[in-house]
Chain A
Amino acid sequence: MIKPHALAAASLMLACSLALAAPKGETQNDPLGSHNWSYMRKDLFPANARVVFDERVKVSAPLTAENPMNVPVSVDAAALPGVTEVLVFADLNPIARIVRFAPTGAHPGLGFRIKLQQSSPVRAAARTADGTWHVGGTWVNTTGGGCTLPSAGSASPEWQKRLGEVSSRVWERKEGGERIRLRIIHPEDTGLAAGIPAFYIQPLDLADAQGKPLMHIEGFEPLSENPVFTVDIPAARASTGYQVSGRDNNGNAISATIEK
């Protein structure tokens, strides 16, 4: 007869091996040692997709973030060839997905700021043309609470009047090409603060003066209030001006011309 605790141990081992089951070639252990990785793998990527940890995907963020409402993060996947899209997520955030972007002419990277509810790995998964997801990331420690606090904007009629207003500027880069930084007035409410529904920017498209696409961004709730984005444009796609358009989850349009 099998003793009950031996049975329990066996089923636990079985459960663990099931949770960690993944397609061939995906045998590396999570370099960030997050107990939630296997669930991220299952929830965010198709079961048959190839997902590998890859240091070529760089995520820059402070090891200790003093303000959980405004944690700066920069992603750079330029060391990989042919990046088609990048998904940024934080394993231990109540809303894990932060932003998804598809560089259609822009440099395969993005700077932005996020709300973190607690210390968590912050990762970027870059999909290359062959369909493989390359995952890089870093731990960010924080005191927490970033996702369940109301935005400053949700309480202010003045901010509502300026909803969707875009400030921007273009710089020439020493390395060649240009840099665009833009800030959009939006509360980016997560829906996790009592009585304040989720209200956040979803699609955002950056194009050149002729309307040719440079970057598609899909935002999720954890982007910080009044989000600021940094996008680099390679010299070959530098333009006389740029345009940005998008909307939030309530259908409010965002549209602005970015002049030099």
Chain B
Amino acid sequence: MSRSARSLVALFTLGWALLLAAADMNYDLRPVRIATDTWVLTGLSEDFSFKNGGNIVNTGFIVTPAGVLVIDSGPSRAYGEQLRRAIARITDKPVVMVLNTHHHPDHFLGNQAFAPDTLAALPDTIHGIHSEGGSFNENMYRLIGDWMAGTEVLAPAKPVTPGPMELGGHKLELIALKGHTGADLAIFDRSTGVLFAGDLVFHDRAPTTPHANIPAWQASLDRLDTLGFQVLVPGHGPVTLDAGPIRQTRAWLTWLDKALRQAAEDGLDMTEALAIDLPAEFRRLAVVEAEYRRSVGQLFPAYELKALSRSGRPAQ
């Protein structure tokens, strides 16, 4: 074989190897037991990327004699399917309920992996998935590419009723809150003391704010703080045994609200608001620079409108 033919064969082989690696799309999901019957899959503290396949979110499940409760289904169909297989490696109990804590893409795009009649969420979350799910899904294809293969929006049909819910001896409390989005579901397992806080709580990773209402979010954090949990599962970032992540999320939101209001009141242009120095205490949060920029884009116009409306008046 000539030298050029050999190089061609080598190139061809390499091409196939790369394709096969991509087709593998292995999230390498390893559930960690954080309390009796309770497992968490902790995502990376990163932005969505082709490299991480969108595995930046925490999902979890509770295994009971009456079946398995899944909390959030991940960013893609592949993630959902791998989550289902990870659960099957731990228990032979069927998944009886999948709760989507809110309507952001990394929390529900794995729904296709589960039986449709097991999917449930707050009514406004279901509404949000119907109205915005399609564009989220498209955007995820742009952000993580092939990892999204076969992913379609599957909205839960079953609305959950907030309040106590018993499942296989676990005394659960479904708590309807808002602030991160218009409907945020927290799940507190009184039997184990585990609180699944959804994206109301971020840990060592800057919060995302595309649908944020900061005062409502702060009120929800206050509520979570009073629950007396023993283990806290944030939506993003490591699990803890204390309320540290609640304080951290609250501190960021308080600073963000104050900084943006001040910037608007001082007459800063949006490009100047983007250039504000972040306080040292937040610099160690993962992706804080990127999230701050996104938050300015999402939230600053409203602060600006308020600052301009004060003395502005239409022509007579």
Residues of A in contact with B (beta carbons under 8 Å apart): 60-62, 64-67, 70, 72-74, 111, 113, 143, 165-171, 179, 181-183, 228, 230, 254-260
Decide if B131 is an interface residue (CB 8 Å cutoff). Answer: no
Write 29 A-B pairs (CB below 8 A) sorted by A numbering. Answer: A62-B293, A66-B293, A66-B294, A70-B297, A70-B301, A72-B269, A72-B271, A72-B297, A73-B271, A74-B269, A74-B271, A111-B269, A111-B271, A166-B315, A167-B308, A167-B313, A168-B308, A168-B312, A169-B307, A169-B312, A179-B267, A228-B270, A228-B301, A230-B269, A256-B313, A256-B314, A257-B315, A258-B312, A259-B311
In the complex, chain B residues whose CB is within 8 Å of the CB of A179: 267
State the 8 A-B residue pairs at the shortest beta-carbon distance, nearest first: A167-B312, A72-B270, A111-B269, A171-B267, A74-B271, A167-B308, A230-B269, A256-B315
Q: Kindly provide the distance from the CB of A167 to the nearest chain B CB, expressed in whole angstroms.
A: 3
In the complex, chain A residues whose CB is within 8 Å of the CB of B310: 169
Decide if B304 is an interface residue (CB 8 Å cutoff). Answer: yes
Decide if B309 is an interface residue (CB 8 Å cutoff). Answer: yes
Task: Check A62/B274 contact, CB under 8 A, given A67-B297, A166-B314, A179-B267.
Answer: yes
Q: Kindly provide the distance from the CB of A181 to the nearest chain B CB, expressed in whole angstroms.
A: 6
Q: Kindly provide the distance from the CB of B7 to the nearest chain A CB, expressed in whole angstroms.
A: 24
Q: Kindly provide the distance from the CB of B316 to the nearest chain A CB, expressed in whole angstroms.
A: 8
B294 A165 Cβ-Cβ under 8 A: no
**Given the complex of chains A and B, what is the CA–CA distance between A196 and B81 in angstroms?**
43
Q: Kindly provide the distance from the CB of B46 to the nearest chain A CB, expressed in whole angstroms.
A: 15
Q: Kindly provide the distance from the CB of A216 to the nearest chain B CB, expressed in whole angstroms.
A: 19
In the complex, chain A residues whose CB is within 8 Å of the CB of B312: 166-169, 182-183, 258
**Given the complex of chains A and B, what is the CA–CA distance between A256 and B312 in angstroms?**
9
A169 B267 Cβ-Cβ under 8 A: yes
Contact bitstring B132-146, A, C-beta under 8 A = 1, else 0: 000000010010000
B274 A72 Cβ-Cβ under 8 A: yes
In the complex, chain A residues whose CB is within 8 Å of the CB of B275: 60
In the complex, chain B residues whose CB is within 8 Å of the CB of A257: 313, 315
**Given the complex of chains A and B, what is the CA–CA distance between A170 and B314 in angstroms?**
15
**Given the complex of chains A and B, what is the CA–CA distance between A89 and B120 in angstroms?**
48
In the complex, chain A residues whose CB is within 8 Å of the CB of B304: 181, 183, 228
In the complex, chain B residues whose CB is within 8 Å of the CB of A183: 304-305, 308, 312
In the complex, chain B residues whose CB is within 8 Å of the CB of A168: 308, 311-312
In the complex, chain B residues whose CB is within 8 Å of the CB of A62: 271, 274, 293, 297
In the complex, chain B residues whose CB is within 8 Å of the CB of A255: 315
Determine the residue in chain A with the shortest Cβ distance to B275.
Answer: A60
**Given the complex of chains A and B, what is the CA–CA distance between A230 and B266 in angstroms?**
12
Determine the residue in chain A with the shortest Cβ distance to B312.
Answer: A167
In the complex, chain A residues whose CB is within 8 Å of the CB of B308: 167-169, 181-183, 228
B298 A66 Cβ-Cβ under 8 A: yes
Determine the residue in chain A with the shortest Cβ distance to B272.
Answer: A74
**Given the complex of chains A and B, what is the CA–CA distance between A260 and B267 in angstroms?**
13
**Given the complex of chains A and B, what is the CA–CA distance between A229 and B294 in angstroms?**
21
**Given the complex of chains A and B, what is the CA–CA distance between A258 and B270 in angstroms?**
21
Contact bitstring B270-313, A, C-beta under 8 A = 1, else 0: 11101100000000000000100110011001001101111111
B293 A64 Cβ-Cβ under 8 A: yes
B142 A143 Cβ-Cβ under 8 A: yes
In the complex, chain B residues whose CB is within 8 Å of the CB of A228: 270, 301, 304, 308
In the complex, chain B residues whose CB is within 8 Å of the CB of A143: 139, 142
**Given the complex of chains A and B, what is the CA–CA distance between A143 and B312 in angstroms?**
34
Q: Which of B270, B307, B313 contacts A259 (CB 8 A)?
A: B313
Determine the residue in chain B with the shortest Cβ distance to A59.
Answer: B271
**Given the complex of chains A and B, what is the CA–CA distance between A190 and B71 in angstroms?**
43
**Given the complex of chains A and B, what is the CA–CA distance between A182 and B269 in angstroms?**
11
B267 A181 Cβ-Cβ under 8 A: yes
Which B residues, 88 to 134, have Cβ-Cβ distances below 8 Å to chain A?
A: none
Task: Check A167/B305 contact, CB under 8 A, given A60-B271, A179-B267, A259-B313.
Answer: yes
In the complex, chain A residues whose CB is within 8 Å of the CB of B307: 169
Determine the residue in chain A with the shortest Cβ distance to B310.
Answer: A169
**Given the complex of chains A and B, what is the CA–CA distance between A64 and B287 in angstroms?**
14
In the complex, chain B residues whose CB is within 8 Å of the CB of A254: 315
Determine the residue in chain B with the shortest Cβ distance to A74.
Answer: B271
**Given the complex of chains A and B, what is the CA–CA distance between A133 and B290 in angstroms?**
34
B270 A113 Cβ-Cβ under 8 A: yes
**Given the complex of chains A and B, what is the CA–CA distance between A86 and B290 in angstroms?**
31
Task: Check A111/B270 contact, CB under 8 A, given A66-B293, A167-B305.
Answer: yes
In the complex, chain B residues whose CB is within 8 Å of the CB of A166: 312, 314-315
In the complex, chain B residues whose CB is within 8 Å of the CB of A171: 266-267
